C-alpha cells in the first residue's frame, strides 16, 4: 500500500533515500513509498512491531527501571536462527505496521513520563529515517532521552556517520568474521567487512569508554554484543580477536550465552541445541586472555529469560 509522505516528518534527504532505497548495504533501490518491495520488505511507514519497557538488556542498557524499546519489524538480514523471528521475517505473523507516527510518539512519551530515561531502537538498520524522525520530534517537544542504537551492524558506515550527534549509545552485534558463515546463516556474504566498517565508525564517534551515570546507566559510548552459537566457538574467538586487533581491548563487550533454538533450526546439526557451559567458558577464557576487561558475561540459564512473544502487548511479561 502506498505511504503518505506527509505523515512522518522526513527530511528531504530521507525522502530521497527511501524513494530509491540505498539505506543499507543491499542497495535494492526500491521505492519504499510505494510498498515494501525491497529485500527487507519494509515500506516507508513506521514498521513498528512493539513499543514497551524492557528490563532484559545488559544492566547498563536497561538501567534500574528498564528502557523504552521500539522493536522494528522486518530486517535486512535473514538469520536462520533469529531470536526475534516473530517480527523479523517478511512473512512474520507479528510484523505490524498499523501504528502511525503520532501514536508512536504518544506511546514513547507515555513511557518516558513514567521516569524511563532511555529509548532503544531495536533492529533499526532498514528504518534509519524513521529513527531520526522520532528523535527529532521527541527533542522538539522537550524530551531528551538517552538514545540507544541496537543494531545487527549490517549498516552502511555513511549511514552510521549520519547519526553522529543523534545517538548516545551504540549497541552493535558483531556476529561473524567468516563470509561463508555469514552467507550461510544470515544471507549476507559481505557481513564481516560491512560490520567491521560500521563498528569502526561507531568507535570513531564514541571512543572505547562506556560512560555511565551514578545509577550505572549507559549515557554515551559503545557496547559490542556477540552471541556465542553452539558448535561455533572458533568463530566467536575470531570475532574477539578481530575486535582486539582492529578496534580496542578497552571497549566493552557483552558476551551472550542466551542462544536458544527456534522452531526454524530445531533440526539443525549444530544450532538445534542451547550452548554447553564448557563452550561458553572456553570463549570467556579467550576474551580474558586477549585482555578485555569491560563488559558483561551471562549466566548459562539466561536463554530461559529471552523468549519474547510479540503477539502480546508486552512481549517480555
Ligand atoms: S533498507 Fe531494505 S529496501 Fe533499503 S536497501 Fe536495505 S534491504 Fe533494500
Give per-residue pLDDT as tens, 188-236: 999 999 999 999 999 999 999 999 999 999 999 999 999 999 999 999 9
> Is residue 5 a part of any domain in this protein?
no
> Is residue 18 a part of any domain in this protein?
yes
Identify the domain containing residue 166 by its residue range: 12-304
- C-alpha separations of 251 from 29, 67, 217, 244 in Å: 35, 22, 16, 9
Please give all residues whose beta carbon lies within 6 A of any atom in ligand 1, as ranges. Answer: 21-24, 26-28, 30, 38-40, 42, 76, 126
Task: Name the domain count of the chain.
Answer: 1
Residue 288 has pLDDT above 90, yes or no: yes
Residue 31 has pLDDT above 60, yes or no: yes
At 313 the pLDDT is 65
Residues 6+ apart with CB under 8 A from 95: 47, 49, 73, 74, 87
Taking every pair of C-alpha atoms in the chain, what is the biggest distance, in angstroms?
54
Average pLDDT, the chain: 92
> Is residue 6 a part of any domain in this protein?
no
> Is residue 258 a part of any domain in this protein?
yes
Which of 17, 126, 159, 160 to probe ligand 1 with, by most ligand atoms within 8 A of CB?
126
> Is residue 1 a part of any domain in this protein?
no
∠ CA 62-175-46, rounded to 5°: 55
Give residue 26 CA to ligand 1 midpoint distance, Å.
Answer: 6
Residue with CA at minimum distance from ligand 1 atom 4 = 21
Residues 6+ apart with CB under 8 A from 301: none
**Which atom of ligand 1 lies nearest, measured to the CA of 39?**
7
CA–CA dist 56, 72 (Å, integer): 17
At 317 the pLDDT is 63
Residues 6+ apart with CB under 8 A from 310: 49, 50, 71, 84, 86, 87, 94
Give per-residue pLDDT as tens, 60-113: 999 999 999 999 999 999 999 998 888 887 776 555 556 899 999 999 999 999
Residue 5 has pLDDT above 90, yes or no: no
Residue with CA at minimum distance from ligand 1 atom 1 = 126
Residue 42 has pLDDT above 90, yes or no: yes
At 312 the pLDDT is 60
Domain of 201, CATH number, reads: 3.20.20.70
CA–CA dist 295, 310 (Å, integer): 28
CA–CA dist 108, 146 (Å, integer): 13
**Which atom of ligand 1 lies nearest, measured to the CA of 18?**
4
- What are the residues facing 221 on neighbouring strands? 169
Environment class of 163 (CB within 10 Å of its CB; exposed 0-12, middle 13-18, buried 19+): buried
At 176 the pLDDT is 98
At 298 the pLDDT is 84
Q: Are 127 and 38 in contact (CB under 8 A)?
A: no
- Please give the full DSSP string across 121-171, using - where no structure is assigned: EES-TT-HHHHHHHHHHHHHTT---EEEEEE-S---HHHHHTTTTT-SEEE
At 57 the pLDDT is 86
304 versus 221: the higher-pLDDT residue is 221
At 307 the pLDDT is 57
For residues 14-38, average pLDDT: 95
∠ CA 138-141-144, rounded to 5°: 50
- What are the residues facing 69 on neighbouring strands? 52, 120
> Is residue 316 a part of any domain in this protein?
no
**Backbone phi and psi for residue 21, each to the nearest 5 degrees, phi listed first:** -65, 120
> Is residue 57 a part of any domain in this protein?
yes
142 CB neighbour count, 10 Å cutoff: 7
Lowest mean pLDDT segment, chosen from 141-145, 166-170, 237-241, 259-263: 259-263
For 166-243, strand residue ranges (E) read 169-172, 211-212, 218-227
DSSP 228: P
**Which atom of ligand 1 lies nearest, measured to the CA of 74?**
2
> Is residue 4 a part of any domain in this protein?
no
At 16 the pLDDT is 96
Amino acid at each position: 500500500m502506498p505511504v503518505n509522505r506527509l505523515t512522518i516528518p522526513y527530511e528531504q534527504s530521507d525522502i530521497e533515500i527511501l524513494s530509491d532505497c540505498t539505506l543499507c548495504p543491499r542497495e535494492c533501490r526500491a521505492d519504499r513509498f510505494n510498498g515494501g518491495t525491497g529485500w527487507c520488505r519494509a515500506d516507508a511507514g513506521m514498521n513498528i512491531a512493539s513499543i514497551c519497557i524492557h528490563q532484559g538488556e545488559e544492566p547498563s542498557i536497561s538501567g534500574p527501571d528498564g528502557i523504552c524499546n521500539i522493536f522494528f519489524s522486518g530486517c535486512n538480514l535473514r538469520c536462520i536462527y533469529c531470536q526475534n523471528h516473530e517480527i523479523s521475517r517478511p512473512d512474520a505473523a507479528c510484523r505490524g505496521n498499523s501504528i502511525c507516527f503520532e501514536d508512536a510518539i504518544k506511546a514513547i512519551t507515555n513511557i518516558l513520563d513514567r521516569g524511563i530515561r532511555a529509548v532503544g531502537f531495536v533492529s533499526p538498520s532498514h528504518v534509519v529515517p524513521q529513527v531520526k524522525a522520532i528523535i527529532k520530534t521527541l527533542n522538539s517537544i522537550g524530551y531528551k532521552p538517552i538514545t540507544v542504537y541496537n543494531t545487527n551492524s549490517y549498516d552502511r558506515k555513511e549511514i552510521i556517520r549520519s547519526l553522529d550527534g543523534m545517538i548516545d549509545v551504540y549497541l552493535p552485534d558483531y556476529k561473524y568474521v567468516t563470509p561463508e558463515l555469514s552467507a550461510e546463516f544470515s544471507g549476507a556474504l559481505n557481513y564481516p567487512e560491512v560490520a567491521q566498517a560500521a563498528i569502526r565508525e561507531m568507535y570513531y564517534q564514541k571512543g572505547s569508554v562506556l560512560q555511565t551515570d551514578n545509577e550505572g546507566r549507559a549515557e554515551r559510548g559503545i557496547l559490542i554484543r556477540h552471541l556465542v552459537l553452539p558448535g561455533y566457538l572458533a568463530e566467536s574467538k575470531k570475532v574477539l580477536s578481530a575486535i582486539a586487533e582492529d578496534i580496542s581491548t578497552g571497549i566493552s563487550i557483552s558476551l551472550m550465552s542466551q542462544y536458544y533454538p527456534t522452531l526454524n533450526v530445531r533440526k539443525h546439526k549444530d544450532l538445534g541445541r542451547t550452548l554447553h557451559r564448557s563452550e561458553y567458558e572456553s570463549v570467556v577464557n579467550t576474551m580474558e586472555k586477549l585482555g578485555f576487561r569491560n563488559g558483561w558475561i551471562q549466566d548459562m540459564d539466561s536463554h530461559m529469560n529471552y523468549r519474547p512473544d510479540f503477539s502480546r502487548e508486552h512481549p517480555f511479561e
